[in-house]
Structure 1
Amino acid sequence: MGVKGLQYFIDHCCPEACVTVNLRELARQHVANGQHGCSTTANITNPTLLVDGMACLRHWYSCKDWVCGGQWREYMALLESWVEAFTSTGIRLVFFFDGVVEEQKRQEWVKRRRRVNGEVSKVFSHIKAHGEQPGAELFCLPSGLATFTRFALRSLGQEVLCSVQEADYEIASYGRRHGSMGILGQDSDFIIYNSVPYLSVAKLRLEDLTTVLYDQESLCRAIGLGVTQLPLLACLLGNDVVSEECMHHVRSNAMARYRNSRPPLGSGAPQGQKVLAVAQLVSSVWGREQGEAGLIPQSLVLSAPDRELLERGVRSYLLPGQEALQRGEVPTLHPDIARVMERYVSPEILKACREKHVAAEGFMVYSVMCEGVVECSNSLEDEEDTELLPQALVYRPCRQHIYSLLLDRNNSSSMDVPAVREWFVYPGNPLKEPDMVYPVPLSLPCDQPSLEVLWLGSGPEVSALRLASFLSVFDCQDFSELYGAVEDSLLAALCLVTYIVLQVQELSLEDVDAYLSQAVCLRLKSTQELQYIKLPHLSSRAVQLGSLYVRGLSHLLGANCASGCPLPSDALMPWHSFDGRLFHSKYLLAHTGTEKTLLLDGDSSCLSLFLCLREKLTEACRRRGRALQSRPRPNPSEPSHKTTADPRYRDGHRGGSMHTGGPSGDRQDWREREERTGDQSHGGGWRERGGSHPHPHPQSYPHYHDGRFQSSSPPPKQSRGRSHHSNRRRYQLAPRWSQPPAPGT
């Protein structure tokens, strides 16, 4: 996330390095000077602007609501307008997103996650105290925003690339290689790389396409260094590779010498003094010994470990062709993963895996197969809620099935099947080490299909295998006959809600009604109507359930990619099955006993579809011994809460959920806890018991037509899916180590 203190120094102490530019004019000059390069696949005539997607997320997501799970339709409209502002002027955009967390930066990643923990805890405290969304000082991006934004931009026709190394490095390398007009982001690392101009997204004015260009040459003149000396400056100040603490003693000595050599600076900014002091140190030691080898001057007194760390940090800024000592190739595979790959995965599969990852067409697959690690950042989860299971544990069983599809090639109990290292943030996990989670085979009536079949095969039988594999990941084989009979997004929503109900014993009929009704009603809502929804108050439990659902959509996406994509990726996007404020309004209505007709906005077709989906879910749960119960939870502060329809939308089928009421809303400092397993159906919290669910044989379902399910006739496209029987099995949640299954299970 940049060089410690450098962005502040540039903005506040080095005005000559901050140049306001018009991007239209910058693009014209770029073309006139013949600086635009050639792509490796096609000649590019339009000037190319590289966009650091991760740095832009906070600027793109400007929707009023964020705590309820995300205003995804509105967000899509904002993204479309943002892209159009550039492309209408002839500027080509290439978006980059982080695809991996490099191990040398893991501790910095962990440090940030712990810091966000405290912020999320404050969010829930505010909601429970005031019943409304907190202010901007506690703003937290909706869960899964980075993942789904990649697919959103692709759907808008944009080129999106996912990194296999540090994203900043790949962006700078791409810009230098292709002669791009600049990098739009908010990361001071970009002024360290010897690449293309660094442009600020924080200071971007979309209406006239102006922003600030951070001029590298002006910065160098101001601090008395050359461009090649900037990497050493960055590492001594502290960055993601060399922590600020590691070089504290060097900076302290530099500050002492700097102050002794200068007159008193009065109230001069300490941040400015620090950068100037370290720059003076770098200048004094650089090139003192003629012909010295290595990246770090020998005259810079360091211990051997510190010197090695500093050299690694400096090397991380060297782009291809700039120095003999370069960054190196993509990190090698984890030994266990590499061994499995050699035995079970063909080069063709690995090539396809990497290509899909780089093109941002996949999720989770590359990190599992080629890195042996999966991470998930903070979610909106209430550490004080001892009842709801954290999302990391709710979705662990389905991830174990995904790992099996990707890694357990011979479907045996062989102990050489590797564990996947999971870095997931959840209550009780101090993030000192990863959870080691082993694959669990799917329950299929046939041998588990190979990736060659799922990814490269063709024909109706392969299509059926893909669908069966996908549904089995979530123990939703019952719904195979619904494929092609209901919209793909609704089938995905039904699978997800069913899975959540099976995993979380405390979910009630009211929670299911909220989930399903909002998925059904969302199809008929415009973006404007969704923005008009008013919430009389917020429920902290509904906030957590909304975040849980969106995290589940990313797991649907991972399972779909691993299974060979039986569903189009677009069907798994949140803007087709979830809206935060709509879900919250349905939750409040469902838990205050609102009639189903009103819950479904008075639309008879929506009601019919809702009741059919609800029946299929409850039947599937009943067959697995999960009996849903009614447990209404009116808000304690407003036990008589009622929501009313906005009169502007009362007529017609779309108005029933436009609610009015009281004030609307203008990462979790979890304590370490032991996680215990048990088998209670309700009562107590997840810390006192775990979840395990039997999975009896499913049966075929009737088909959907004209708002109702019909029996007998086959689905419109028989090759798209078929029903399968499954073997009886049980999920077991193991908090730290998920051992491989014993033979015969």
Structure 2
Amino acid sequence: MVHQSLRKPGFSRSAAMGVRGLQGFVASTCPHVCTVVNLRELAERHRSKHPGCTPTIVVDAMCCLRYWYTPESWVCGGQWREYFSALRDFVKTFETFGIKLIFFFDGMVEQGKRDVWVKRRLKNNREIARIFHYIKSHREQPSRNMFFIPSGLAIFTRFALKTLGQETLCSLQEADYEVASYGLQNDCLGILGEDTDYLIYDTCPYFSISELCLDSLDTIMLCRQKLCESLDLGPADLPLLACLLGNDIVPEGVFESFRYKCLSSYTSVKENFDKKGNTVLAVAHHIAKVLRLHQGEKKLEEMLPLGPNKALFYKGVASYLLPGQTSPWIFQKPKGLTTLHKQVVPMSSDPESKQEIPVCTDPESNQESPMCSDPAPNQEIPVRTDPEIKQEDSMNMEPEVKQQVTMVSDTEILKVARTRHVQGESYLVYNILTSGEIECSNTLEDALDQALPSQAFVYRPVRQRAYSLLLGSGQGDASGCPTVREWFVYAGNPLRHPDLVRPLPMNLPGGTPSLKLLWLNQEPGTQALRVDTLLACFDLSSSREELQAVESPFQALCCVLTYLFVQVDTLCLEDLHAFIAQALCLQGKSAAQLEALQLDCVDPRAVQLGALLVRGLTMLVLVNSACGCPWRAGDLMPWNVFDGKLFQEKYLQSEKGCAAEVLVEQNRPRLTRFHSLKSVVCKACLKEDRHIISRQHWRPHHSGRLERQGSGSHRTSSGYSRSGQGQHWRDQGPGSRQHEPERWTRHSPSARWSS
């Protein structure tokens, strides 16, 4: 059960999110903006006011992840069964009182916010280094003030909520806009999240998730109207205030000197000067007393030092305008335009053309549109409308649109992919098909441990084959596929540019099947083809029969383990024993039993191995989505095959040389399955010339790494992973150049593909 005011410092999306300084200002200077409310009572009032209408709260799920993650253990890779239980309690509480929840998840990182995303990832890297330093020094989990959400928490939360019967939606842009829009258009009870942008949007009430007491459903409502009264502003002024203070679109430094001038003028008539609080008051005072004097007479850029940031500033203000809303501070061209978020129509009628453009005058666009750079007087800027606008509406749009080349031209496939994306039924597929760009946040990886690779490298060949499936012509030739831009976090990557990653061909009889065949064909034999394609993405086609014979959910586990052990030659038999034993023992344990499990110590290598496996499960979700879902989504979920603490326990036992009987807790049927699963993985690895041996047969290498004895099984000297496909993880890193067609290079102005 989640308790009141569960404050967990960490890396949730709400950290440093929204308007700079506004959260602290409200807490210290305007505490009356925060009001204690009871969601049950508000729901009852809503029913009285709207008979027959179910009170609905729209939830910004990304803001809620660390509130939901209540298990005590977090560093070992995730207490997934405990987490699922906590989510179930959360959902059940609202259901009990007749309150409907709609969950929104971020579907992509908008280009205008990439810099903010990168800064957070680099900050997280420093925090992760501190976590591993602590584990190595103390052999235990750090305290909660170093909390880091387990890898894959967002994607698996989405599927967990769907399993619990909840409506989950994945955004087509930054989620906060769609959350605010949904709340306004559907007359929702409020928004549950932790982002000061919800004070700026003119939408339904904003409730704090961090202050929610689940037992009573008491929480804090941050009142937009009271904030306006305190600042002598109207709701339409708040977007202007947000951009002048700095937010995720307009960097804080852009108006630093302007804020200083406002503060100097404001403090000349105010006593008890408090810089942080008074900065907000000073800027609001300037808007109310200075800018309004000339409102309607002068363009905003004549009253503000916008300079080269004019288009960015207008984009920032417009980004807060919900469907049907306008701003008195910005203007549009004489002919009114309706904004549509990335509705895709062909750029030409040429059937061979793969160039398409989203019909979009979206203020999130990176390109400076004429309406933003030179607003005409007395005309309001176009406002973004609901992302679900019908395709036919886009035909009446004017040609002033954001031009963006999409990766595929098949509108039927794009429509299916978009629907699955919005409904939260796929992972990364729509992003690859439309923008050719994906990202992956931080993982608990030890940057100082050279013996274990980053998950970014381990699973890159899987992604490369998925790219050839998604972006190819269905003929099995990956050479003509476009490259994909990857923003993946790994040690030494400054994230200044994305990695340009080329697709890899798949080894499938008859060639790579088309997406139409995999996604839309209902012929009896298609299901088998989907499975074949999934295994081909992991390059495990030779082990199809063995893997298919494994029962669920261990089939998915064996697939990831086989791939992992073939790719990473520093994994040993003891590691395999620990992975299999914990998965088998997990089946007979409740969330309460897992919570009661106590560890003697925490091993840093096991921490990284746990994260590596969980990231493998997320890659399996991606491939399963791309192949038309041959495997049930539930079989890919970590709460069915992995528990962080349990893995640590089995890892430590295995390292000590405990027998299999001990690992499976003296359970005879479990022991039989242990040997069966071990045999499947070992035999599959042998087909790829990978012999999994005990750590006792390794010898220390002068480089500090561990390598197996015998030149026949040494896999790191060639510079390639198996089959010569892709580049070995030890040879990959920032700045690496491509020398073979299937290798990759970092994206930079000087980078060139070799022929």
- What is the TM-score with the length of structure 2 in the denominator? 0.82
In 2, the alpha carbon distance for the partners of 1:301 and 1:342 equals 36
- Consecutive unaligned residues in structure 1, runs of 5 or more: 37-43, 635-678, 695-728
The 5 A counterparts of 1:475-554 are: 475-482=539-546, 485-554=549-618
User: Which residue number in structure 1 is paired with residue 306 of structure 2?
Assistant: 302
User: Which residue number in structure 1 is paired with residue 376 of structure 2?
Assistant: none
48, 51, 71: which one aligns with 1:32: 48
The 5 A counterparts of 1:153-168 are: 153-168=161-176
Q: Structure 1 residues 432 and 197, CA, compared in 2 at 3 Å: closer, same or farther?
A: same
Amino acid at match of 2:319: S
In 1, the alpha carbon distance for the partners of 2:624 and 2:142 equals 35
Name the SS of the counterpart of 1:298 in structure 2: helix
Q: Structure 1 residues 731 and 627, CA, compared in 2 at 3 Å: closer, same or farther?
A: farther
1:605-659 residue CA offsets vs partner (Å, 9 max, x unmatched)? 111111122112112212212121211599xxxxxxxxxxxxxxxxxxxxxxxxx
72, 93, 96: which one aligns with 2:101: 93
Query: Number of aligned pairs?
Result: 651
Contact persistence 2:39–2:218 (CA under 8 A): yes
User: Which residue number in structure 2 is paired with residue 315 of structure 1?
Assistant: 318
Deviation, structure 1 residue 141: 0.2
**Residue 620 (str. 1) matches residue 684 (str. 2):** yes
**Residue 286 (str. 1) matches residue 294 (str. 2):** no
1:436-484 residue CA offsets vs partner (Å, 9 max, x unmatched)? 1111111011121000000011233211110000011112224432466
Contact persistence 2:243–2:317 (CA under 8 A): yes
- Consecutive unaligned residues in structure 2, runs of 5 or more: 1-16, 348-352, 358-404, 699-709, 744-754
Question: Higher RCO, 1 or 2 (CA under 8 Å, sep at least 6)?
Answer: 1
Deviation, structure 1 residue 689: 7.5
Amino acid at match of 2:340: E
**Residue 330 (str. 1) matches residue 338 (str. 2):** no
Amino acid at match of 2:575: D
Contact persistence 2:406–2:434 (CA under 8 A): no
Name the SS of the counterpart of 2:693 in structure 1: coil
Deviation, structure 1 residue 550: 0.5
Amino acid at match of 1:302: L
Contact persistence 1:466–1:565 (CA under 8 A): yes
User: Which residue number in structure 2 is paired with residue 638 of structure 1?
Assistant: none
The 5 A counterparts of 1:502-651 are: 502-631=566-695
The 5 A counterparts of 1:397-436 are: 397-411=461-475, 413=477, 416-436=480-500
92, 102, 112: which one aligns with 2:110: 102
Name the SS of the counterpart of 1:375 in structure 2: strand
Name the SS of the counterpart of 2:207 in structure 1: strand
Deviation, structure 1 residue 604: 1.6
1:383-415 residue CA offsets vs partner (Å, 9 max, x unmatched)? 110110100000000000111110012436575
**Residue 692 (str. 1) matches residue 721 (str. 2):** yes
1:24-50 residue CA offsets vs partner (Å, 9 max, x unmatched)? 11112223233x9xxxxxxx7211101
Name the SS of the counterpart of 2:242 in structure 1: helix
**Residue 243 (str. 1) matches residue 259 (str. 2):** no
Deviation, structure 1 residue 520: 2.0
Q: Structure 1 residues 234 and 384, CA, compared in 2 at 3 Å: closer, same or farther?
A: same
Contact persistence 2:20–2:245 (CA under 8 A): yes
Name the SS of the counterpart of 2:302 in structure 1: coil
**Residue 15 (str. 1) matches residue 31 (str. 2):** yes
Q: Structure 1 residues 292 and 516, CA, compared in 2 at 3 Å: closer, same or farther?
A: farther
The 5 A counterparts of 1:179-190 are: 179-190=187-198
Amino acid at match of 1:448: T
In 1, the alpha carbon distance for the partners of 2:668 and 2:527 equals 34
Q: Structure 1 residues 343 and 418, CA, compared in 2 at 3 Å: closer, same or farther?
A: closer
Amino acid at match of 1:311: Y
Deviation, structure 1 residue 690: 4.5
Amino acid at match of 1:526: S
Amino acid at match of 1:495: C
Contact persistence 1:591–1:632 (CA under 8 A): no
Deviation, structure 1 residue 563: 0.5
1:355-395 residue CA offsets vs partner (Å, 9 max, x unmatched)? 00000011010111112111000000001101101000000
Amino acid at match of 1:314: V
Contact persistence 2:71–2:595 (CA under 8 A): no
Deviation, structure 1 residue 274: 1.3
Name the SS of the counterpart of 1:384 in structure 2: coil
Deviation, structure 1 residue 222: 0.5
Q: Structure 1 residues 633 and 123, CA, compared in 2 at 3 Å: closer, same or farther?
A: farther
Contact persistence 2:547–2:680 (CA under 8 A): no
1:518-546 residue CA offsets vs partner (Å, 9 max, x unmatched)? 12221222222222222111110000000
Deviates more, 1:597-606 or 1:142-151: 597-606
Name the SS of the counterpart of 2:89 in structure 1: helix
The 5 A counterparts of 1:441-460 are: 441-460=505-524
In 1, the alpha carbon distance for the partners of 2:649 and 2:342 equals 47
Amino acid at match of 1:732: Q
- What is the TM-score with the length of structure 1 in the denominator? 0.83
Q: Structure 1 residues 32 and 108, CA, compared in 2 at 3 Å: closer, same or farther?
A: same
User: Which residue number in structure 2 is paired with residue 730 of structure 1?
Assistant: 725
Question: Percent sequence identity over matched residues?
Answer: 44
Amino acid at match of 2:552: D
In 1, the alpha carbon distance for the partners of 2:73 and 2:697 equals 23
Deviates more, 1:13-22 or 1:539-548: 13-22
Name the SS of the counterpart of 1:561 in structure 2: helix
In 2, the alpha carbon distance for the partners of 1:218 and 1:579 equals 46
In 2, the alpha carbon distance for the partners of 1:68 and 1:681 equals 34
Contact persistence 1:509–1:630 (CA under 8 A): yes
In 1, the alpha carbon distance for the partners of 2:146 and 2:712 equals 36
Contact persistence 2:306–2:313 (CA under 8 A): no
Amino acid at match of 1:575: W
User: Which residue number in structure 2 is paired with residue 698 of structure 1?
Assistant: none
The 5 A counterparts of 1:657-736 are: 690-694=719-723, 730-733=725-728, 735=733
Amino acid at match of 1:299: M
Deviation, structure 1 residue 327: 9.2
User: Which residue number in structure 2 is paired with residue 202 of structure 1?
Assistant: 210
Contact persistence 2:205–2:223 (CA under 8 A): yes
Name the SS of the counterpart of 1:499 in structure 2: helix
Deviation, structure 1 residue 238: 1.0
Amino acid at match of 1:278: V
The 5 A counterparts of 1:326-475 are: 328-331=339-342, 338=355, 345-411=409-475, 413=477, 416-475=480-539
In 1, the alpha carbon distance for the partners of 2:668 and 2:290 equals 78
Q: Structure 1 residues 5 and 617, CA, compared in 2 at 3 Å: closer, same or farther?
A: same
User: Which residue number in structure 1 is paired with residue 280 of structure 2?
Assistant: 275
Contact persistence 1:504–1:691 (CA under 8 A): no
User: Which residue number in structure 2 is paired with residue 642 of structure 1?
Assistant: none
